[in-house]
A and B are shown apart, each in its own frame.
Chain A
């Protein structure tokens, strides 16, 4: 079972290695991990995607909470959360494929952010399912390079609306 954990951590040297070290020392999985600054310069936000059964996720959450640098851990599972990921995909585009590439970009509301005679670089943002789907369609054209940011997540406000 995949879980997205949203953390607030002290912005201190060593916080990231403590968290990453916890996962490796205890044999927990990290599918992705992102760290970013927040509005408050002393606090970083971290989004960790991990998987495991309920007991494992409970341990991961408790162990993270126990770390002195961790201010707050929220398991977004079962809560209203918006999560997003961005990918940059560089594809080979032989002349006959360029139109097809643009059609796919259009369908996913992605954008071409760089183009050369033989390639496009596409930026796409969305939930991971959308990104996976687009990559699936682009793959037959020939992917040269692919980078994904990993997920970031934020809680929905009560009464908020919009697609997740």
Chain B
């Protein structure tokens, strides 16, 4: 039977198991939308901005493990996807993004709403396709989903000219894909796994340093087995949180620039780092030479380019994390005799405990102002860690990573690689669309939330009852923190003042707005937010002076952490609620030059 390009597209999406797409129509995709509206198998969620559609698709993909799908029009619709594509590329999120394109005979003519989206997205997609003939469409879609979801996952873009959506051809769905130039390695090399097992048996002070790869590969169970078998402490990257239970006694917390002292010191003291599904990002390593000065490194990752990119590795193993961990566990089980010396492990654990005792994670509670850390502790207590949590980017993100304990990596959505303000809320909506019955919470900042606030309409219309908790410090807090510490308290363009009124804003969209201004109100508003079955914005007025600690100042090594404000720090100026001007420059103190 002959089908149009639009029909083929929808049919292929169904065969790929797509149940939800996020998108925004426009001229060249009207044919496609016309057909979309005449079927019921695929739900289309109309967003209020294409960037929102991309982050929703990301949230959907990360929470489900399936490919997220978005559809947008040509030109401005397509260019609005760039941030989402980069975000997905950096954080290895499988997406298929379909962009409309002007008709093939107009391509290259600077036609109305023509953008060279293939050229523009070469560097921010895992792969992209321009479909010039309707005969190629079905195979292209099959390949796109295959490429997006296998190997190291990532975004794939299909550019679909208008005439191709109307052209007809005999439809047949390719059952399998073979790409001679794309064969990701799944199984780890046996010899390397043997070497790793030998190194592990010799180690006295091992640490498992694990990342997003564990989550993507659904390897949480295998990681747990390995850690328990070896009685080995575990630290997670920002992307890896939830890959290992945040409440487990052998969990060290996150590592890196805003990691815990014990995690960073365990890495520093370690004699064997077992790095799994990580990429030695600079926010993790700090000064590379002093990151793990005494350790051998085993590095497991599906992406060969991640290995030896930033750091020398002794035992590289390319492969899918789940598969490699299973083989490694089997290899360790083969060995006779104990895998470690319990006395050595006790010493190692004591050494780590001593670091923790030296600088435990903590903050100074206040009875007057709300501390952001306190909000997260309360939220953890009230949800018992059983919620899908997303964040935006800034101090609130780091506070969440440090103070909320994650049990499941698929319930933790944050923009790690790109650090995209505006990611959190739409990502949560995508997850809520996938899991209507789950509790989905966004921790945001007064700055970040305004980068995709328009999606409040999407939440209300589609009955996606996400709870947005704004830790409102009236500042671009993370920027302000750096200005305080490294730019002599010169708060240039980081003050946001007190507008909008988020409660009224929520109400204007038809959502629920709540506010807490004192510590004793926090529990009440959180409980209320969790109770109502509607989208909620909770404006929590937190202490603007609070900084994220511990911290490794840029350019320093991870063992050189800072734990509190300098003694001569001034309180952060908080102009009158109605003052809309930037605060005047505070008396400049002779502070150190920014480091790095």
Contact = CB atoms under 8 A, between A and B. Distances in A.
A14 B304 contact: no
Contact of B304 (A13, A25, A65, A68): A65
Interface in A83-131: none
B304 A55 contact: no
B123 interface: yes
A17 B116 CA distance: 13
Contacts of A69: 181
Nearest to B305: A62
Contacts of A71: 180-181
Given A10-B181, A14-B118, A62-B304, A68 B126 contact: yes
A66 B181 contact: no
Given A13-B130, A25-B123, A66-B304, 13 more contacts: A9-B181, A14-B130, A17-B122, A18-B122, A21-B122, A59-B305, A59-B309, A62-B307, A63-B305, A66-B305, A68-B126, A68-B179, A71-B181
Contacts of B182: 68
A45 to B, nearest CB: 14
Interface string B164-185: 0000000000000001111000
A72 B307 CA distance: 19
Interface of B: 118-119, 122-123, 126-128, 130, 147, 179-182, 303-305, 307-309
Contacts of B308: 55, 58-59
A62 B306 CA distance: 9
A13 B304 CA distance: 26
Nearest to A72: B181
A58 B306 CA distance: 11
Contacts of B307: 62
Nearest to A67: B181
A21 B305 contact: no
A46 to B, nearest CB: 13
Contact of A66 (B123, B179, B303): B303
B119 A17 contact: yes
Interface string A1-30: 000000001100110011001000100000
Nearest to B307: A62
Interface in A38-74: 55, 58-59, 62-63, 65-66, 68-71
Contacts of B303: 66
A14 B180 contact: no
A29 to B, nearest CB: 17
Interface of A: 9-10, 13-14, 17-18, 21, 25, 55, 58-59, 62-63, 65-66, 68-71
A65 B130 CA distance: 22
Contacts of A66: 303-305
Contacts of A63: 305
Q: Which 7 A/B pairs are nearest by Cβ-Cβ distance?
A: A71-B181, A62-B305, A68-B127, A62-B304, A68-B182, A63-B305, A66-B305
Contacts of B126: 68
Contacts of B122: 14, 17-18, 21
A126 B5 CA distance: 52
A124 B303 CA distance: 43
26 contacts: A9-B181, A10-B181, A13-B130, A14-B130, A17-B119, A17-B122, A21-B122, A21-B123, A25-B123, A55-B308, A58-B308, A59-B305, A59-B308, A62-B304, A62-B305, A62-B307, A65-B304, A66-B303, A66-B304, A68-B126, A68-B127, A68-B147, A68-B179, A69-B181, A71-B180, A71-B181
A155 B127 CA distance: 30
A5 to B, nearest CB: 15
A11 B574 CA distance: 61
Contacts of A68: 126-127, 147, 179, 181-182
A19 to B, nearest CB: 10
B307 to A, nearest CB: 8
Contacts of A21: 122-123
A25 B305 CA distance: 15
A18 B309 CA distance: 20
A146 to B, nearest CB: 32
Nearest to A55: B308
B13 to A, nearest CB: 21
Contacts of B181: 9-10, 68-71
Contacts of B119: 17
A102 to B, nearest CB: 48
B288 to A, nearest CB: 12
Nearest to B318: A62
A90 B54 CA distance: 56
Nearest to B182: A68
A70 B147 CA distance: 14
Nearest to B130: A13
A8 to B, nearest CB: 8
Contacts of A62: 304-305, 307
Contacts of B147: 68
B306 to A, nearest CB: 9
A55 B310 CA distance: 10
B217 to A, nearest CB: 18
A92 B126 CA distance: 51
A133 to B, nearest CB: 38
A70 B305 CA distance: 15
Contacts of A70: 181
Residue among A17, A18, A21, A62 with most chain B CB within 10 A: A62
Nearest to B132: A13
B154 to A, nearest CB: 10
A15 B360 CA distance: 52
Nearest to A69: B181
Contacts of A14: 118, 122, 128, 130
Contacts of B179: 68
A104 to B, nearest CB: 45
A25 B86 CA distance: 14
Contacts of A58: 308
A66 B181 CA distance: 9
A69 B118 CA distance: 14
Nearest to A65: B304
A35 B308 CA distance: 29
A21 B309 CA distance: 18
B372 to A, nearest CB: 37
A105 B588 CA distance: 73
Residue among A18, A65, A66 with most chain B CB within 10 A: A66
B313 to A, nearest CB: 11
Contacts of B123: 21, 25
B185 to A, nearest CB: 11
A58 B307 CA distance: 10
Contacts of B128: 14
A74 to B, nearest CB: 14
Residue among A14, A18, A55 with most chain B CB within 10 A: A14
Contacts of A9: 181
